[in-house]
Amino acid sequence: MGTEVALKLPLEPPVDPVVEGLKEPVRAYLRRLRFKDPELIEALARECLLAASRRSSQNKQKLLRRALEEAQRRLDQALAQALDLYPEDTASVTAARAALLLARETMDSDDLIRPAPGREGLLVKLRAHLPLSAPPETSSSMPVQSLEFWF
């Protein structure tokens, strides 16, 4: 006597084929940034593409560029937080990213996003690879010079 109604709740947003087609290049870029965990790579790729689609038009090239920028921005934020750097200090954050990517020892970016027991060892190794800056320039007074002109 009663009728049964099946409800379909939108648990996930609809899949945009353009965004779905760009997932693999974003995943590949995340792997180049030394992310190893497949679940974390998938989640980051989805978040980066979602953030990029909010900021950009549906032009495929612009969307991909924005998603890759977002992936790098997230790595930079994780590095700045882990190493107690100011995010606005782009030179230090860039140096930390370079140290992470160029280190001979295997260092994974996963531990920056998801802290693991070996994280402190990673941070010690990373700090050891950070470039040291030269001492800052100091201003000194210049003696007064007399100028003579011959015409």
pLDDT tens per residue, range 24-55: 999 999 999 989 889 999 999 999 988 888 87
Q: Rounded to two decimals, what is the model's pTM?
A: 0.71
The answer to whether 71 touches 97, Cβ cutoff 8 Å, is no
The answer to whether 30 touches 110, Cβ cutoff 8 Å, is no
Quick one: average pLDDT of 10-26? 70
Gyration radius of the chain over CA positions:
24
User: Tokens 């030269």 appear where?
Assistant: 134
d(CA 71, CA 145): 54
* pLDDT higher than threshold 80 for residue 100: yes
pLDDT top residue among 89 and 105: 89
Neighbours of 29 (CB within 10 A): 19
Domain boundaries, the chain: 17-129
Instruction: Give the Å distances, CA to CA, from 118 to 55, 111, 128.
Output: 36, 8, 16
- State residue 6's pLDDT score: 54
pLDDT top residue among 102 and 48: 48
- State residue 111's pLDDT score: 80
